[in-house]
Amino acid sequence: MVPSRASGSSSSRPPRRSRATVPSYNEATSEEDSDFRTSATTRPRRQPAVSLRSRSATQRPSYRESSDYESSTVEEPGEESEEAPAHERNVSVEIRGNTRPSINRRMANRPQTSSGRQRPSGNKRRPRDRPSRAISHPAKKAKYYSELLDDTTRVIPPWQTLPYHILFDILLHATYPEPNEKWEARSDMARWLVNVACLCRAFQEPALAALYYCPPLFPSYKCHALVNLLSMPRESLLINYAGKIKELLVDVDVLRYKSGPILGYFDLAQLIQKIPQVHIVRLYHQEDFILGHQPWNVPLSKWMYSEHLFEVMDSTGVRLHAWDWNSRFLDLPDLLPFMLKQHQRPAFQRLREVKLHHLGDRNRQDTSEKEDSLASALKVLPALERLELVECTLLTDRLLLQLPSTLCSLTITNCDRLFTPYLDAFLKSHGSSVRELNLNHNRHLDLFWTDSLAEHCPNLEKLKFDGTIYDASPHNDTNPHFDALLNPDVEPTWPRTLREIEMTCLRRLDGDCAELFLNSLQHAASEMCSLRRLVVSMILNVSWRDRARFRDTWVPQITRTFRRSDFAQSSPERSPFPESSAAPKRHSARLVGKKGAHAESAVDAPVYAPCETSPSAQPQQHGMCDEVLIRIDNQRPSETQFNENDFLDSEASGDDDWPGGD
């Protein structure tokens, strides 16, 4: 008999047996556990498993957490009888440790030797079918309970007491669709508005009005369902759905494909006939939002403009405020006379906004006649205020000078034939009425036109310039086609009425021109009392030391000048430099040597210190901007700039589950 571990001393070793005499046994499954206990008196008792290795006096530490489930299924070691033989205790532990009957059943007929070391009875194995713990991480647990308390104890404002028009504006602002928005996101917004409408009676009308203000028209079978809903008699409906639809964003793919043999193709004219109060209709293609395509490389769509669509608008009494023209849906030689004809209809006499896509000659011939035709089509619109041109090669000085004088907003995006003299001539003739100017991704446009901006555009309120270049051609030409963005003898001027200034991706700038640009903003700070947003992004191609010195000098000054302060400073701002030039009493020789070495190395480097025309010599305080962002680097142009916070984990660092015992 093998002596029991409880009775033997910790230093004694069990007697060894020959390998040939080591008995083998078959493990019993959990189904055989009850049979083993009931027939233990009639069945011959097995020999205990004997290990060929020496047993250690210390038990292996266990890091497994106990649970009520395990304590109910596994017998506690303290309940065993002290008079029980050692081999019975060992066998019982082996049988109770089996928690996977399928594996043990397959291994029941396989002879095995005993394990090298017995698992202590206090270290219980966790069964696989045990339900997982809900929250074990302390940080997650605290966050979970804090969110739970916030949901149950926070004060909810009485939203249901707000008037209808305020609730409608809030919900519409939160869920207004974007033209390039994915249909999954739009479906989620529609589902959320339906849930809000079901909360209470006060939310029903504004939520449904926000949903049907611009209804989602995809997939195509939902368009047929919307037409069927609007075709129902008004007396049978609780809500006037037709009167709530004001805008339509239509993907032409919905109009191209058939919705089965029963529904067929969706007819947009049939929908417009049911909604006489619609005032914005935008027909777009998914590839219209991919910039960089030349107009002669844009393929024609299978869906085309039809005369029947515009006849239905006149018969229904629709008065449009915004409309888009796209050369994908009709070739340019046919589109320009068709556009002139439709603009003379009553439905277009109140048109305020026109957006033109890909207007360019595919044969690359002389475009002077086409420019005159386009200008004539725009002049017949008496109420035109906003004009946007996207990738239009027809845009030259000839067309710019013939644009209507009623324009208040002009947006030019990725037009290859826009040059600085053309824009300067337009601002000189039409700039007095322009209040918004957006110039994005134009490869030939620099900033020389800004020297007379305050003179030509005295009423300008919003200015945006984006120097990022897009090109979808195989050679991928994304560099600007000018030598310098500014010259040292050209100082920008800024109108007093400006509310927003956004100048991003300013390239081909040296240190002197960049300083001149920021200095012009600093000088005009006291005059631009309406400015509330200032965003400037520069790419300086200088050494990293000069760029860092320039950034440390100008970024704090511009931010301090324009950013709104929460409270007035009661005490004057301290200078960052010490008042006395005397050296401190204690300085180590090592630091003094390093200071001298730095001073010698910085002799030839340019110093961006305040000069006579610098901000510190003539401080101009503004302090009215809610957003001030100045970025100076040498990174490659990109749509999204990532920083350190974009790569940090949302959870707390470290492993709080580890007790530190090993």
Enumerate the domain spans of the chain: 418-566+607-642
User: In this structure, what token pair is assigned to residue 260?
Assistant: 């089965």
- pLDDT attached to residue 101: 45
Taking CA 27 as the corner, what is the angle to CA 21 and CA 30, rounded to the nearest 5 degrees? Answer: 165
Inter-residue contact 621 to 526 (CB < 8 Å): yes
- pLDDT attached to residue 365: 72
User: In this structure, what token pair is assigned to residue 477?
Assistant: 């030409």
pLDDT at 579 over 50: no
- pLDDT attached to residue 146: 65
Task: Look at 56-70, 78-92, 175-189, 353-367 and tell me which has the smallest mean pLDDT.
Answer: 78-92
Q: How far apart are CA 241 and CA 230, in angstroms?
A: 7
**Residue percentage of the chain with pLDDT more than 70:** 65
Inter-residue contact 524 to 495 (CB < 8 Å): no
Q: How far apart are CA 637 and CA 465, in angstroms?
A: 14
Provide the pLDDT confidence category of residue 628 given band limits of 50, 70 and 90.
very high
pLDDT at 248 over 70: yes
Judged by DSSP in three states, 357 sits in: strand
Residue appearing with tokens 């310098």: 484
**Residue percentage of the chain with pLDDT more than 90:** 48
Spelled out in words, what is the top-level CATH class assigned to the domain 418-566+607-642?
A: alpha beta
Task: Look at 247-256, 495-504, 642-651 and tell me which has the smallest mean pLDDT.
Answer: 642-651
CB < 8 Å & 24+ apart, contacts of 164-170: 164/205, 164/206, 167/202, 167/203, 167/206, 167/207, 168/206, 168/209, 168/210
- DSSP state at residue 25: B
Q: How far apart are CA 177 and CA 172, in angstroms?
A: 9
Q: How far apart are CA 371 and CA 389, in angstroms?
A: 13
In angstroms, the Cα distances linking 3 to 8, 53, 54, 87, 94 are 7, 15, 13, 9, 18
Amino acid identity for residue 88 in this structure: E
Mean pLDDT along residues 80-95? 42
Inter-residue contact 472 to 511 (CB < 8 Å): no
Q: Could you tell me how far CA 366 lies from the centroid of its own chain?
A: 43
Provide the pLDDT confidence category of residue 7 given band limits of 50, 70 and 90.
very low
- pLDDT attached to residue 126: 53
Task: Look at 75-84, 151-160, 651-660 and tell me which has the smallest mean pLDDT.
Answer: 75-84
Sheet holding 386-390, edge to edge: 247-251, 280-284, 322-326, 353-357, 386-390, 409-413, 436-440, 462-466, 500-509, 533-540, 627-633
Amino acid identity for residue 371 in this structure: E
Mean pLDDT along residues 505-523? 93
Task: Look at 73-87, 233-247, 463-477 and tell me which has the smallest mean pLDDT.
Answer: 73-87
Q: Is pLDDT larger for residue 624 or for residue 262?
A: 624
Taking CA 92 as the corner, what is the angle to CA 91 and CA 94, rounded to the nearest 5 degrees? Answer: 65
What are 401-434's pLDDT values in tens digits?
999 999 999 999 999 999 999 999 999 999 999 9
Which residues fall within 8 angstroms of residue 514, CB to CB, at 6 or more apart? 506, 538, 540, 550, 632
Residue appearing with tokens 């991706």: 505
What are 124-156's pLDDT values in tens digits?
555 555 444 454 556 666 666 566 555 556 778
- pLDDT attached to residue 254: 87
Direct distance between the N- and C-terminal alpha carbons of the chain, in angstroms, rounded to an integer: 36
Which residues fall within 8 angstroms of residue 647, CB to CB, at 6 or more apart? none
What are 379-402's pLDDT values in tens digits?
999 999 999 999 999 999 999 999
Mean pLDDT along residues 623-629? 92
Mean pLDDT along residues 97-110? 46
Mean pLDDT along residues 539-544? 89
Mean pLDDT along residues 308-325? 96
What are 249-288's pLDDT values in tens digits?
999 988 888 887 788 889 999 999 999 999 999 999 988 9
Q: Is 332 exposed, middle or buried (0-12, 13-18, 19+ CB in 10 A)?
A: buried
DSSP tally for the chain: helices H, then strands E: 21, 11
pLDDT at 549 over 60: yes
Sort residue 317 into left (φ over 0), alpha (ψ -120 to 50) or beta: left
